[in-house]
Amino acid sequence: MTKHEKIIEYIKNLKIGNRISVRKLAKELNVSEGTAYRAIKDAQLEGLVTTLPRIGTIRIEKENKKGIEELTFQEVVNIVEGSVLGGFSGLEKPLKKFLIGAMEVEDIARYIEPCDLLIVGNRKEAQLLALNRKAAVLVTGGFYPDAEVIELANKVERPIITSSYDTFTVAMLINRAISTKLKQKEVILTKDVMVSNPYFLDINSKVGDWRRLLRATRHSKFPVVNDEGELVGIATTNDVIGYPDDVPIKDLMTKNPICVSPDTPIAYAVHLMVWEGIELIPVVENKKLVGVISRQDTMKVLKSLSMQPQIGETIDEMILNSFSIRSLAKV
């Protein structure tokens, strides 16, 4: 068992409600803080932990809730008429996003994340990379991976799938399935696509804390909350650039940022992003931060909706169709 797997197993055995910290986990299990941090983020993706303002990261009861556009790997197998060669225990996990492996392995490494699906041909190095990152692999063109790849898939519990279809056809079929799931809901709400438990800064943070989050997450925009977990601002690169690490975030942040509620129609969020020229909108409920929605989130929804038949359009679709993906990309 790898160090990463030992940490995940340790987290699974914690009592519901137990607090977890990177430093404490690293010390107790004798691993680096970087290894502990990555394991905690994977545990969050698996629904084992959550991060709450002023409380920190805690163990929670795993939820099986699926987003409206999520597919399980088992559903992907059915969609592409594929065969599962290994990693059967991971078939019910939800697909986070899919990537087409038409790039160098070094470039794939920059984008692949846990619970992603790599669509690739007969490229063993790329297949092994994806599985080591806890992503599933769909091998196109009727190729079969070798025994080493299948063995790794079983070990990391991520499916290795083969399909006789080519890469373009597979991508089209999966996109169509995601679009169908989106169509099943007449009005898409912010809570359906928002990122829950987002990274944030508290009111007592300093510029140095912002920079540490930037290095750890590669994000550059973070909501700021007060001691009660209420949204009070947002800190971006433009706010902090040029200031030393010891300057308080509360003196530089953008106060009273534009925000939406979980039940706000996604079409309205798109409208705000385009017309206000913003890339990230905090999602609040009873003044407390519960999530964020980004430009990438809205672009993904817009792409999905734009692929669907224009029969019985919803209000959301009519609003979304008045914007182009290009106009969002310019924001």
pLDDT level of residue 325 (50, 70, 90 thresholds): very low
CB proximity list for 266: less than 8 A, separation 6 or greater: 188, 189, 190, 192, 193, 293, 298, 301, 316, 320
Q: What is the pLDDT of residues 225-247, one digit of tens each?
A: 999 899 999 999 999 999 999 99
d(CA 156, CA 175): 26
Claim to verify: residue 231 and residue 294 sit in the same structural domain: yes
Structure-token match 């629904």, residue found: 47
Does a structural domain hold residue 65?
no
Does a structural domain hold residue 300?
yes
Q: For a pLDDT cut of 70, what percent of the chain falls above it? A: 83
Q: What is the DSSP string of 20-40?
A: E-HHHHHHHHT--HHHHHHHH
Claim to verify: residue 242 and residue 319 sit in the same structural domain: yes
d(CA 173, CA 325): 21
Q: Is 113 helix (H, G, I), strand (E, B) or coil?
A: coil
The tokens for 74 are 């088992």
- Which of 154, 183, 212 is where one domain is finished? 183
Does a structural domain hold residue 296?
yes
Across the chain, what does the average pLDDT equal? 83
Q: Read off the pLDDT of each residue in 295-311 and give the average, rounded to a whole number.
A: 60
Does a structural domain hold residue 216?
yes
Query: Total domain count for the chain?
Result: 3
Claim to verify: residue 92 and residue 178 sit in the same structural domain: yes
For the chain, the straight-line distance linking the first and the last C-alpha, in angstroms and rounded, comes to 45
**DSSP structural state of residue 145:** -
pLDDT value of position 272: 82
Q: What is the pLDDT of residues 107-158, one digit of tens each?
A: 888 889 999 999 999 999 999 999 999 999 999 999 999 999 999 999 999 9
Q: What is the pLDDT of residues 158-169, one digit of tens each?
A: 999 999 999 889
Claim to verify: residue 178 and residue 195 sit in the same structural domain: no
Which among 178, 179, 243, 181 has a CA at the least distance from the CA of 208? 243
pLDDT value of position 239: 93
Does a structural domain hold residue 66?
no
- Going by their DSSP bridges, the two strands 136-139 and 160-162 should be labelled as parallel
Claim to verify: residue 92 and residue 164 sit in the same structural domain: yes
Q: Domain holding 13: CATH number? A: 1.10.10.10
Q: Which helix (H) or strand (E) holds 257?
A: none
CA count, 13 A, side-chain hemisphere, 100: 10
Claim to verify: residue 135 and residue 35 sit in the same structural domain: no
Claim to verify: residue 250 and residue 278 sit in the same structural domain: yes
Residue 202 belongs to domain spanning: 190-329
pLDDT level of residue 197 (50, 70, 90 thresholds): confident
Claim to verify: residue 172 and residue 199 sit in the same structural domain: no
On the question of pLDDT at 310 being above 50, the answer is no
Q: For a pLDDT cut of 90, what percent of the chain falls above it? A: 40
Q: Which helix (H) or strand (E) holds 19?
A: strand 19-20
Q: Read off the pLDDT of each residue in 217-224 and give the average, rounded to a whole number.
A: 90
Q: Read off the pLDDT of each residue in 277-286 and give the average, rounded to a whole number.
A: 90
- Which of 133, 153, 183 is where one domain is finished? 183
On the question of pLDDT at 261 being above 80, the answer is yes
pLDDT value of position 210: 95
Q: Read off the pLDDT of each residue in 72-100 and give the average, rounded to a whole number.
A: 88
**Cα Rg for the chain, rounded, in angstroms?**
21
Does a structural domain hold residue 15?
yes
Does a structural domain hold residue 202?
yes
Show the CA angle centred on residue 216, arms to residues 211 and 220, nearest 5°. Answer: 50
Show the CA angle centred on residue 58, arms to residues 228 and 134, nearest 5°. Answer: 125
Q: What is the pLDDT of residues 5-40, one digit of tens each?
A: 889 889 988 887 788 888 988 999 999 988 888 888
The tokens for 13 are 């055995």
CB proximity list for 110: less than 8 A, separation 6 or greater: none
pLDDT level of residue 74 (50, 70, 90 thresholds): confident
Q: What are phi and psi of 314, to 5 degrees?
A: -85, 170
Q: Which of 31-45, 58-72, 188-202, 235-249 has the lowest mean pLDDT?
A: 58-72
CB proximity list for 271: less than 8 A, separation 6 or greater: 319
d(CA 181, CA 262): 19
Structure-token match 């009070």, residue found: 232
Claim to verify: residue 142 and residue 265 sit in the same structural domain: no
pLDDT value of position 53: 52
On the question of pLDDT at 324 being above 90, the answer is no
* Residue 109 Cα to chain centre, angstroms: 16
Q: Which residue has the higher pLDDT, 260 or 186?
A: 260
Does a structural domain hold residue 266?
yes
